Structure formats: structure tokens, C-alpha cells
Amino acid sequence: MASLSINFPILPTNPLPSSSNPNRLLPSSFSHLNSSPLISSSSHVSRSSLSLSRLSSRNSFVIELQTNKKKMKMNKASNHSIVATVNTKPELLKIMISGAPASGKGTQCELITKKYGLVHIAAGDLLRAEVAAGTENGKRAKEYMEKGELVPNEIVVMMVKDRLLQPDSHENGWLLDGYPRSSSQAKALEDLGIHPDLFILLDVPEEILVDRVVGRRLDPVTGRIYHLKYSPPETEEIASRLTQRFDDTEEKVKLRLQTHNQNVEDVLSIYKDVTVKINGSAPKEDVFVQIDNALAGLREQKKATFASVEVGI
């Protein structure tokens, strides 16, 4: 028998059980692990995050102790295997952010990653990178793209999952930008055990969004984005060469907003317990203050609720 002395985050809505039996913390299907000789020596793991999942094999289970330090595999002559990881950063954040076109999401993502060091993951960029790298998922996606078809959700979801499992995401936390965009994508992530600590929604009135999009212009030489009203070009020379995206018209942006609004409501129904709405119509500095307050509060809450529990295996 081995004893793991671990720390893991307990949310306020899930208080520690009153029973002194540590197995009360485990799903009933894992209770028999207490009598299984999986490890021959006693191990002590401090400041760890515990999660458990049942594998396809009838008697196969995985205990994951999330880590940013090292990963350990402990196997014994048994039908069970334990994968343990030590987490010394209980305050790591898992954030999703959503916003309509021209809501300022890109700007806020830059500010968030700069201050909190989160790994910024945008599904569109990820898709293009996978295709360019020629990965298995990228090859599958390319087949659909070359036919002019949408890449199936399951391919994109696996790309996102694989990216979230990379070491830098585990070590620094992550910011998932503009994804999931539909309830089916959100449910697929949930089925994979991917759930955010916070879902940020940038809330901007439609008339402001339309004004932002219609006045947007691109400098084809530098790639910089200007706005005729809010961020005009510095010189007449630059102004003369600016171009407008074909879909940055009032008619087309309203159609895009309609689609976005329909989809975001479905997504919010899944993340309603962790959603925070941010007034995105304010100046970008004020918008970030709202987001910063939410993230700082969340990080402090995660530290404060990090409890120590001894689990016998």
C-alpha cells in the first residue's frame, strides 16, 4: 500500500466531505484501488492537482496529478496503471474568450497574455499551422479545405486538444481565443475533460460593432489596421493606399453578427457557471481593467481554495 499526500483545488461549491474516509473523495468505481498493490513504497506528493478517469479497459484507470515539473509512471504487475504529475502552480489559469467581430478581442488577448503569460491559442491560427506543418490532423483538414468544405468539428477539436496538452500550456496556463464557437464544439471539449476556469464574453452593442467594422481599413504595405474615425492614418500617402475588406460592409457585418449571436448563446448555456460579461464598448484600457480584475480575483481564489488532503491508495 502506498500513501499519497496531495494538495488539490477544491471549489467552494464542492466542499470537503465530512467523513474521515479519504475514499469519499473518489468516484465509487475507484474505491477498490485502495486495496490494490499498485505501488510498493510510500510516496509523498505536495501541492498537486488530482483528477481521475476510467479508460476503455474494464479494470484500467488513470490518476492524473497535473504538473508543470515532472511526470511519473508507476506500474506494478496489475491491471491498473497510475500516471502522476506534480503541480506546483495551483494558480494556473484556463481561460476562454469570445467576442463578436470588432469587439476588440484581439487587443485584449494581447494584453492578457502580456500580463499573465498564458499560452494564446486561436483555432484559426492553429488550423493553418497544422496544415503548414503537415501533421496528421493538418493533412486531414487540408483535404476538406482544398474541396472548399468546412473542416469537421472533430478535426479542429483534436487540434485544440493536442495544443492544450503541450508542455507550455501545462506550465503557463492557456487562453483559448474565439473557440468553441458552437454548442457541439463546446460539448466535444467537455467530453475530453477540457473546461475553462473562466469564459470571458466581450459584450458590445451592435451599432458600435457595425461602426467599428465599416470604418476599418487595411494598409496593404505594412499590414496595419486603421479606422477612419477611431484610428485614422498618419499621412495622406498612407490614406491613399488603404483598402477595405470585401465583407466589411454594413450588410455583411450584420449577417455575421446574427450568426455570432445565435452561436454564442448556445455556448454560454454550457459555460454559464463560469461566464463573465465584460463591457467591451469602453476604451481598450478600461476593458482590460475589467478583465484584469476578474483574472486576478480568480487566481487568488484558486490559491485560497487549494486544500491539502491525504489519499490512501
Known catalytic residues are 105, 181, 216, 245, 256
CA 135 to chain CA centroid, Å, is 22
3 state SS for 239-257 = HHHCECCCCCCHHHHHHHH
C-alpha cell at 176: 483559448
Whole-angstrom CA distances from 19 to 22, 272, 286 are: 8, 31, 47
Distance CA 22, CA 112 (A): 38
Distance CA 270, CA 253 (A): 26
Give the N- to C-terminal CA distance of the chain in Å, as an integer: 6
Count of residues making up the chain: 313
Whole-angstrom CA distances from 280 to 107, 115, 120, 231, 263 are: 11, 19, 20, 17, 19
